[in-house]
Structure 1
Amino acid sequence: MPLTFTLDPAITATLRDDILDLWTDVSNAGGSVGFVPPVTREQIRPELVRHFVQMAEGRTRLLVGLDEAGRVAATAFLTRNSHRLMAHWVWLYTVMVHPRHQGRGYGRDLLDAVADAARGLDGVESIRLSCRGGHGLERFYASCGYKEVGRVPDAIRVAPDDDRDEVLMLLPLG
């Protein structure tokens, strides 16, 4: 059953907790979303609060995908550039699909919904993201239309002696 996507939902205590649970579960399942397992909700909470602050400032938009039971199954954050010469593209951050939904095509559905949301933003022509190398994420994003436009070797240190490339990807919206 497809997810139902909402851009900029009202942030309630329930939604906040559901996103925090999603982020924790994705991280602990090995997802590349800014943390290395094992991680707790309390370790993730400050980063979620930073995202919410950026939303309150009007710099970041939240896209939430709900499953058939109305639970948060997927999220992504779109962030505008503050530099006036780069206002024609947005950053895509914290792209997550709950591990219980893996293999159902929800990641592709989420990225399609992200592209639709970005097309609705005034003056936005493309989406940029960076992902952690070593997990095949760049192949997944490429299969969804993103192009690799840069790579910084060993930019992400997930553990001692475990450095990963930062892969920069771009999706033109034209």
Structure 2
Amino acid sequence: MVDPAHISIESIRAEDEARLLPGLVALLQDTAASGASVGFLPPLSEEEARQYWQVAFQGVADGSRVLLVAYDADTIVGSVQLELAMRPNGLHRAEVQKLFVLQSQRRRGIGEALMQAIEQAARERGRSLLVLDTRQGDNAERLYRRLAYHEVGVIPAYALSASGTLDGTVFFYKELA
């Protein structure tokens, strides 16, 4: 489990980009290298990872995205994002995206702590409905079920995996109190 003396979670601002970009690039490259289904296939170049984070920081700057980062001392060990629906009929909802935890730091409760923190960030922004998806059978699927997310359904052969197979994706939602 997470040792509170060592792990901290911070909400990131747009002006933090230059300072955090190297650690976030390394986090994304590590996550992709582990075969996690996060939209990228290994090997992930530094340039492609950097471009991804630059777009993410644009969302932080325009207020459409929340980015949380977990640290162990000064090292980035995880992150998660919340994409806020911006249309008038969707201001009550958001999509949880890109839960990343370094391979070496998994099974310490960091993912769960990030999910709890992103749910709180959603509440603070008046969001009462969260949606997310994950590859069927991944550890993340078990995490989301444990955190009381409800399965909507599975789309088979949704995403190409690092091994070359087409894997199903499970969609979930959670209503926040």
TM-score, with length taken from structure 1? 0.90
Pick aligned residue for 1:117 from 108, 115, 121: 121
Contact 1:134 1:164 in 2 (8 A): no
Which has the larger displacement, 35-44 or 105-114? 35-44
Corresponding residue SS for 2:22: helix
> How far apart, CA to CA, are the structure 1 residues paired with 2:161 and 2:77?
25
Task: List structure 1 segments (4+ residues) > 6 angstroms apart after TM superposition.
Answer: none
Which residue of structure 2 aligns with residue 129 of structure 1?
132
Corresponding residue SS for 2:44: coil
Which residue of structure 1 aligns with residue 101 of structure 2?
97
Corresponding residue SS for 2:49: helix
Equivalent pairs, count: 172
Q: Measure how far apart 1:135 and its partner are.
A: 2.2
Contact 2:37 2:161 in 1 (8 A): no
Q: Measure how far apart 1:161 and its partner are.
A: 5.8
Matched AA of 1:63:
L
Which residue of structure 1 aligns with residue 161 of structure 2?
158
Q: Measure how far apart 1:115 and its partner are.
A: 1.1
Contact 1:20 1:44 in 2 (8 A): yes
Matched AA of 2:48:
Q
Unaligned runs of 5+ in 1: none
% same residue: 27
Matched AA of 2:26:
D
1:109-147 Cα offsets, whole Å, 9 max, x none, are: 11111111111112x102111112242432221012211
Asked if residue 66 in structure 1 is aligned to residue 71 in structure 2, the reply is yes
Q: CA RMSD in A?
A: 1.8
Unaligned runs of 5+ in 2: none
Which has the larger displacement, 136-145 or 89-98? 136-145
TM-score, with length taken from structure 2? 0.88
Corresponding residue SS for 2:152: strand
Which has the larger displacement, 2-11 or 80-89? 2-11
Corresponding residue SS for 1:11: helix
> How far apart, CA to CA, are the structure 2 residues paired with 1:46 and 1:13?
13
Which residue of structure 1 aligns with residue 110 of structure 2?
106
